[in-house]
Amino acid sequence: MILTALLVGFTGVGTASAATLRADDFEDGNSAGWTTTGGTWIVNRDGSTRVLRQSSTAANALARTGAISWRNYTVTASVRPESFNGMPGFAGVVARANSTSNYYALVLRPDDTVALTRTVGGTTQTLDTARFAVEQGTWYRLSLQVEGQRLTGTVGGVTVTASDGFLHGGPAGLVTTWTTASFDSVLITD
């Protein structure tokens, strides 16, 4: 303890801790603070808990929260894909969503892959992908970290990475395309 205090005093370096920018488990029964576009978003009861559910398989759907000034952060959420309407359907988390058609995403796909993607002007490009068994109706914990140009996504012990400097800041969020899904336990930290 004394050594740590001395090191901080002499070097100005201390231990870093992540600050929570936003956390939502939807137990309050609403999605206040979220802006949704496309799809049908509603807070539903799911057993003994509440979740945010997107129930349209025919739309690109995005729910965003946060500020356009957010740059370097991690968004983590529990994601349960429920029904895929074929490829290129997916469900996942997004970062730097400076508009409804510009964002980075970590998504689960029905072809048993997890992908790190960049969407610009509504066109999606895969930056990295890995094999990952995806089952409809199963919960997965996805985490997407954006720091400078470094992008890192993790799910179930699988990691995908990329370096991309196209998008510089924006809110975090949740996304589905041609897929219904539920989301819970969202945590965004700096």
| Digit-coded pLDDT (tens) for 15-27 | 557 899 999 999 9
Q: In the predicted model, is pLDDT for residue 4 greater than 50?
A: no
* Complete DSSP assignment for 107-119: EEETTTEEEEEEE
- Can you tell me the distance from the alpha carbon of 170 to that of 172, in angstroms, rounded to the nearest whole number? 7
Instruction: Report the C-alpha gap between 177 and 53 in whole angstroms.
Output: 13
In three-state secondary structure terms, 130 is strand
Between CA 47 and CA 104 the distance in angstroms is: 31
Instruction: Specify whether the CB–CB gap between 170 and 48 falls below 8 A.
Output: no
Q: Which of 2-6, 59-63, 67-71, 106-110 has the lowest mean pLDDT?
A: 2-6
Residues 153 and 177: their CA atoms lie apart, in Å, by 19
46-100 per-position pLDDT tens digit:
999 999 999 999 878 999 999 999 999 999 999 999 999 877 899 999 999 999 9
Read off the pLDDT of residues 143-179 as tens digits, 9 standing for 90 and up. Answer: 999 999 999 999 999 999 999 999 999 999 999 999 9
Q: Does the reported pTM lie above 0.75?
A: yes
